[in-house]
Amino acid sequence: MPDTTVRDLIGPESIVLELAARGRDDAILELARRLEALDAVDDARLVAEAALEREAIGSTNIGFGVAIPHAKSAHVLRAALAFGRRNAGVEWPGEAVADAGASPDAEREVHSVDLIFLITSPEHASDDHLRMLAALARALMHDDFRDALRTSTTADAVMELLTGRLTLAS
């Protein structure tokens, strides 16, 4: 069975180190356009809509300044990943979590992110792709990984970081 690697999902072309978008909807569309240019999706607008439908069910702003919008749609041609960063932050409504301690700082953090991973998957994704995404999700829970994403200066550096960190767990 062919091994799936990080490079099957993401390349330097789908990494945006300084997003133009300031808001959630625009940021998702901006990343979806990158994937459209790479022929990973056939209609960026519809894929962005699918991701927004998912946001409506529950925000994918997971805290720590990270959001992981995802779209499962017939307009996705292959499972793919796009990464966007905006140091000044992107407005992204989050969900207050009970007992998380409601300091004003925390309140503010809840509604803004600076690291965004757009995940697209076709209607029937392979387990390998899903495992890769699971590994990404796990990695995002670690401060050092997030800090490294924030300080990488080139798309290639981000790629190196991702390939180094995301190995298929058995």
Partner 1 sequence: MAVQRLVAITSCPTGIAHTYMAAEALSKAAAEAGIAIKVETQGSIGAENRITDEEAAQADAVIIAADTNVAEDRFAGKPIVHASTGDAIRNAAGLIAQAAQLASAAPVPAAGGGAQPAAQGDYLARISAAKEQRKSSQKGPYKHLMSGVSFMIPFVVAGGILIALSFAFGIHAYEQQGTLAAALYRIGAQSAFALFVPILSGYIAYSIADRPGLAPGMIGGLISTQVGAGFLGGIIAGFLAGYLALWLVRTIHLPRTLQGLMPVLIVPLLTSLVVGLVMIYVVGEPIKAVTTDLTTWLKGLTGGSAIVLGLILGLMMAFDMGGPVNKAAYTFAVGLLASNVYTPMAAVMAAGMVPPLGLALATVIAPRKFNAEEKEAGEAAWVLGLSFITEGAIPFAAADPFRVIPSIMTGSAITAAMSMAFGIQLRAPHGGVFVLPIPNVLTDLPLYVLSIVVGTVVTAVVVSTLKRPVAEAEPAGVLAEPAAA
Please give the residue ranges that form the binding site for partner 1 (CB under 8 A). 54, 57-58, 60, 62-63, 68, 70, 72, 89, 91, 93, 95-100, 102, 104, 107-108, 111-112, 119, 121, 125, 127, 130-131, 133-142
Helix axes 155-165, 143-151, angle to 10 degrees: 160
Cβ-based nearer residue to partner 1, 107 or 156: 107
Cβ-based nearer residue to partner 1, 64 or 157: 64
Helix (H) or strand (E) segment spanning residue 103: none
Q: How far apart are CA 13 and CA 32, in angstroms?
A: 12
Closest of 16, 18, 19, 20 to residue 35, by C-alpha: 16
Query: Least distance in Å: CB of 42 to partner 1?
Result: 21
Query: Least distance in Å: CB of 154 to partner 1?
Result: 26
Query: Least distance in Å: CB of 25 to partner 1?
Result: 13
Please say whether the dihedral angle defined by the alpha carbons of residues 2, 136, 40 and 42, taken in this order, is positive or negative: positive
Structure tokens at 158: 């981000």
Query: Least distance in Å: CB of 62 to partner 1?
Result: 5
Q: What is the distance in angstroms between the CA of the first residue and the CA of the last residue of the chain?
A: 14
| Strand runs labelled E in the chain | 15-16, 61-63, 66-67, 70-72, 80-91, 112-121
Cβ-based nearer residue to partner 1, 37 or 168: 168
Query: Least distance in Å: CB of 39 to partner 1?
Result: 22
Cβ-based nearer residue to partner 1, 39 or 53: 53
Cβ-based nearer residue to partner 1, 135 or 157: 135
